[in-house]
Structure 1
Amino acid sequence: MLYESSLTAENAVFRQVVDAGDYFIGVVKAGETFRILDLEGNQAADTLFFNAHDPAERYSATDTIREQGNVYLTAGSKLRSNHNNVMLEIVADTCGRHDTLGGACATESNTVRYDLEKRCMHACRDSWMLAIAEHPEYGISKRDISHNINFFMNVPVTSEGGLTFEDGISAPGKYVELKAVMDVVVLISNCPQLNNPCNGYNPTPIEYIVWAA
């Protein structure tokens, strides 16, 4: 469902451009709203969410899909944790659909999906590992890395129940906006993937923007 925001970037309390292949990690407080902005279009933002006070509680695709009865996310979707608590709600969306099944690229998946020589190419899981290594203050460890959301990514479910990776459905200036229901750690890998069309074979920057409660 397409729904535009009434918030303006000029009134934001925080803004940061995240280059392709880079990560962002930070806390949004309950009541705050943040936007992930696809600056140049066709980018994928692989994102994880954790309870800022207990990272063992984290975003769960299983609980979210079950409760909303839909494998895709858009305006009105409530993102639930592995404790079945609502963590965030998507309050605006100009893209229309976001993937919660396709997972994140890794050296292992690059090898299996593409070629042995692709194994050492940078991947989203590498970005997450670097983020938690460089920011131990968030208390997140490797075992906490679980389900992620691929914002802007197009992963249709086939009639046979499989998944395909297709051209993105985003465009320059498209965004998704979420309001935090609890204090949440946001961990984004701005996907560096060059081997499938999720990034149009050309990874580009995103912008992360926050508004106060």
Structure 2
Amino acid sequence: MVELAKYGLGRRDMAANLNLFSRVESDDEGKLRYVPGHCQPGKSVTLRFEMDTLVLLHTCPHPLGPSAEYPRRGVDIALGTAEPVTEDDPCYCSRPENARGFANNRLYHLGL
């Protein structure tokens, strides 16, 4: 909340939490189970944004994780500029909703 406040934002501006490196499975009864060892050191994820985006990151352990101690691990972050989107771009053509998202971004930038 402190970080959001720096940009004039509050609780209503928060989107759903996205956990990128932990795995939780549910059984037929809906019980959740933490899957230990799902993500090994050195794994990565690439996030691509076609418009200005504020991203809040944290390294807190998953609430269902069994660790009794707070894990002290480093996180590397690299920022870069993506190539312009083309019709054969994997982000664009892998799913119909991705293409719609790119189209919506173009409309947004045109002010429509």
Instruction: Name the structure 2 match of 1:167.
Output: 36
Is 2:1 the counterpart of 1:132?
Answer: no
Higher relative contact order (CA 8 A, sep 6+): 1
Q: 1:148, 1:204 → 2: CA distance? A: 20
Number of residue equivalences: 82
Q: Following TM superposition, by how much is the alpha carbon of 1:131 offset from its aligned partner in structure 2, in angstroms?
A: 1.9
Specify the code of the residue in structure 2 equivalent to 1:131.
Answer: E
Deviation string, structure 1 residues 101-123 (Cα, Å, up to 9, x no partner): xxxxxxxxxxxxxxxxxxxxxxx
Q: How has the CA–CA distance of structure 1 residues 198 and 183 changed in structure 2, closer, same or farther, with 3 Å as cutoff?
A: farther
Other structure's SS at 1:156 match: strand
- The structure that is strand-richer by fraction is 1
TM (norm. structure 2) is 0.57
| 1:155 aligned residue | 24
**Residues of 1 paired with 2:35 and 2:16: CA distance?**
20
Quote how far apart the aligned CAs of 1:192 are. Answer: 4.7
Are residues 1:180 and 2:34 paired? no
Contact 1:154 1:166 in 2 (8 A): yes
Gaps of 5+ in 2: 83-112
Q: Which has the larger radius of gyration?
A: 2
Distance 1:159 1:195, change over 3 A: closer
Would you say the 8 A contact 2:22–2:62 is kept in 1? no
User: Gaps spanning 5+ residues in structure 1: where?
Assistant: 1-128
Q: CA deviation at 1:175?
A: 0.4
Q: 1:210 to 1:199 in 2, by over 3 A?
A: farther
TM-score normalised by length of structure 1:
0.33
Q: CA RMSD in A?
A: 2.8
| Counterpart secondary structure, 1:150 | coil
Identity of aligned residues (%): 34
Segments of 4+ moved more than 3 angstroms: 192-195, 197-201
